[in-house]
Amino acid sequence: MAIYAISDLHLAKSIDKPMDIFGHRWENYMEKLKVSWEQTVSRDDYVIVPGDISWATYLEQAHDDFSFIEQLPGKKIISKGNHDYWWTTLAKLSKFLQDNNFASISFMHNNSFDLGEAVLCGTRGWKCPGDNDFSAEDQKIFNRELQRLELSLKTIRPKDNQAVITALHYPPFNMKRQPSEFIAVMKKYNVDMCLYGHLHGESHRNAVEGRIEGIDFKFVSADHLGFKPLKLTW
C-alpha cells in the first residue's frame, strides 16, 4: 500500500471547459491523467486529491467526472478547491457517493483519515496576507480556513511512526513566497508534510517546495506533475 497525491484535475466530462489556455501541457489532459494514473496507482493505494476536481456547477452535473474518478484504481480522498462550485454539505456529498455506488471515493471536510502509515486532514485554505489584492473579506475567509485546519488537526491521534499530513488547495505562502499562519498551526500540531496545488501555468514559479521549519512542502497540481500522481515518502 502506497500513498499518492495529485490536485487540480479540472475534469470536464459534462461541460465544455478548455484548459489549454494554461499552456500545451493541458492538451488531451484527461486521457493523460487516466493513462498515468492506471500505470502508477494500485487498487489498495490511497490518492489524496486536494481540490479543483470538476468544473461542474452542481453536484448532479459532476456525475460523469466522479464516474471517471471511480473507475481509476486506488482509494481517493477529495477535498475542496476554489473552483468546486458543486461542493455542498458532507451529508449530501456522502449521499451522492452512496446513491451512485462511488465506493472508492471519500470527502475530506472537517474530518481526518487514518491511512496506515500516515494520518491526514486538511481544508481548502485561501489567499494569504501579503498578497497584493488581499482584502478585509479575504482576511475573514483566511481566518475561518485557519480555524478549520486547527479543528481538524485536533481530532487526529497519530500512533508511533505515523506521519501527519495536511492537504490544502491554496498554497500556505503568499505570492511573495512568505509563510502564512497556516504554517504556525502545522508546527503546533507536529505536521510532517503539507500538500497543496492551485497554481497553474506561469504561476508555477511561485510554488514553494522542500523542507521548511521541519515540514516537507509538496506542490501537487496535476499539470506540474505531468498528470501523474506523486508517491509520497517521508
CATH number at residue 180: 3.60.21.10
HSE of 113, CA atoms in CB hemisphere, 13 A? 23
Give 111's contacts (C-beta < 8 A, 6+ positions apart).
90, 121, 152, 155
Q: What distance in Å separates the CA atoms of residue 59 and residue 92, rounded to the nearest whole number?
A: 9
Identify which of 59, 151, 41, 154 has the alpha carbon closest to the alpha carbon of residue 97: 59
Question: Looking up cell 498554497, which residue turns up?
Answer: 171
> Quick one: 60 exposed, middle or buried, by C-beta within 10 A (0-12, 13-18, 19+)?
exposed
> Going along 22-139, which residue ranges are E strands?
46-50, 75-79, 105-107, 112-114, 118-123
For the chain, the first-to-last Cα distance in angstroms comes to 15
Cell numbers given for 213: 521549519
Q: In DSSP terms, which residues pair with 195 in a beta bridge?
A: 167, 218
| Tens of each residue's pLDDT in the chain, 234 residues | 999 999 999 999 988 887 776 777 888 999 999 999 999 999 999 999 999 999 999 999 999 999 999 999 999 999 999 999 999 999 999 999 999 999 999 999 999 999 999 999 999 999 999 998 999 999 999 999 999 999 999 989 899 899 999 999 999 999 999 999 999 999 999 999 999 999 988 778 889 999 999 999 999 999 999 999 999 998
Supply φ then ψ for residue 8, to 5 degrees: 60, 55
**Can you give the residue range of the structural domain that contains 169?**
3-231
The pLDDT, as a whole number, for residue 25 is 84
**DSSP designation for 21:** G
Domain count within the chain = 1
